[in-house]
């Protein structure tokens, strides 16, 4: 069974699936779906579309130079059927797929190395270019943040300060002040020189 790649996007096109177009000069083109066939008839360049394999190869996202890819090359030389050769070929295909998947994972990890640092650098650049859109901090807040960072041994510039959003309580009762009279227990007899109890007013917040 021969599995041909799609001429446009590079996906595998299995037997009895897809579309085959034969040109007047005898060259055949295999397409995995009508989407690829339609784009081919519109004479679009596969490298300009991001969902094709050609564009991924152009962007360096696909493994191109690897020995495991040579086993997938098309060979038009017929071979005499041999049962032992078929069994060895099936075992080799499984082993080759394992090696290829492992190498693809390594290739992906190397390609993604340093991505976090690049994203942070782009974010810092975006913030520095659009600093005028950031909310401004009050002077007291800037002073408090500077003192906190000075205690930790860090110097923070005014432009590096970021406004913090204050938490807003959606649910909860309102705070109200209530005066409560509490007798003074400091005196031994509980009375002062005038013979009257001392009353102390305190303000307490009740929620």
pLDDT in tens, 38-66: 999 999 999 999 999 999 999 999 888 88
Instruction: Inform me whether the pLDDT recorded for 80 exceeds 70.
Output: yes
Q: What is the pLDDT of residue 203?
A: 47
Burial of 6 (0-12, 13-18, 19+ CB in 10 A): buried
Residue pLDDT, tens place only, 97-145: 999 999 999 999 999 999 999 999 999 999 999 988 888 878 888 888 8
Pair of tokens at residue 88: 């060895």
Q: What is the pLDDT of residue 182?
A: 64
Instruction: Inform me whether the pLDDT recorded for 95 exceeds 90.
Output: yes
Q: What is the pLDDT of residue 79?
A: 85
Residue pLDDT, tens place only, 136-149: 878 888 888 888 87
**DSSP element (H, E) containing 36:** helix 34-41
Confidence of residue 24 (pLDDT cuts 50, 70, 90): very high
Q: Where are the domains of the chain?
A: 1-62, 116-159
**Residue spans of alpha helices (H) in 64-194:** 83-112, 115-129, 139-151
Q: What is the pLDDT of residue 132?
A: 86
Pair of tokens at residue 29: 């083109």
Give the CB-side neighbour count of residue 194, counting CA atoms within 13 A.
Answer: 3
Pair of tokens at residue 48: 């300009």
Measured from the Cβ of residue 11, the count of other Cβ atoms closer than 10 Å reads 16
Bridge-based pairing state of the strands 28-31 and 199-206 = unpaired
Residue 127: name the closest of 154, 157, 164, 161 by CA: 161
Instruction: Inform me whether the pLDDT recorded for 207 exceeds 50.
Output: no
Tell me how far CA of residue 157 lies from CA of 114, 147, 148, 154, in angstroms. 27, 12, 13, 10
Structural domain 1-62, CATH architecture:
Roll (2.30)
Residues 122 and 114: beta-carbon distance below 8 Å: no
Residues 206 and 179: beta-carbon distance below 8 Å: no
Residue pLDDT, tens place only, 85-94: 999 999 998 9
What pTM does this model have?
A: 0.54
Q: What is the pLDDT of residue 188?
A: 52
């Amino acid at each position: 069974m021969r599995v041909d790649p799609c001429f446009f996007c590079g996906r595998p096109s299995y037997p009895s699936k897809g579309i085959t177009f034969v040109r007047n000069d005898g060259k055949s083109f295999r397409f995995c779906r009508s989407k690829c066939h339609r784009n081919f008839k519109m004479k679009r360049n596969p490298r300009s579309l991001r969902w094709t394999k050609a564009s991924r190869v152009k962007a360096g996202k696909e493994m191109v130079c690897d020995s495991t890819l040579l086993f997938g090359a098309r060979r038009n030389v017929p071979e005499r059927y041999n049962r032992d050769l078929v069994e060895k070929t099936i075992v080799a295909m499984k082993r080759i797929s394992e090696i290829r998947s492992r190498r693809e994972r390594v290739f992906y990890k190397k390609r993604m190395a340093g991505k976090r640092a690049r994203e942070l650098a782009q974010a810092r650049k975006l913030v520095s270019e659009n600093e005028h859109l950031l909310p401004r901090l009050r002077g007291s807040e800037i002073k408090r943040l500077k003192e906190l960072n000075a205690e930790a041994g860090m110097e923070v510039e005014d432009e590096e300060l970021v406004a913090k959003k204050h938490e807003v309580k959606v649910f909860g009762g309102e705070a109200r002040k209530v005066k409560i009279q509490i007798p003074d227990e400091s005196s031994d007899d509980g009375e002062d020189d005038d013979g009257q109890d001392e009353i102390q007013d305190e303000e307490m917040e009740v929620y």
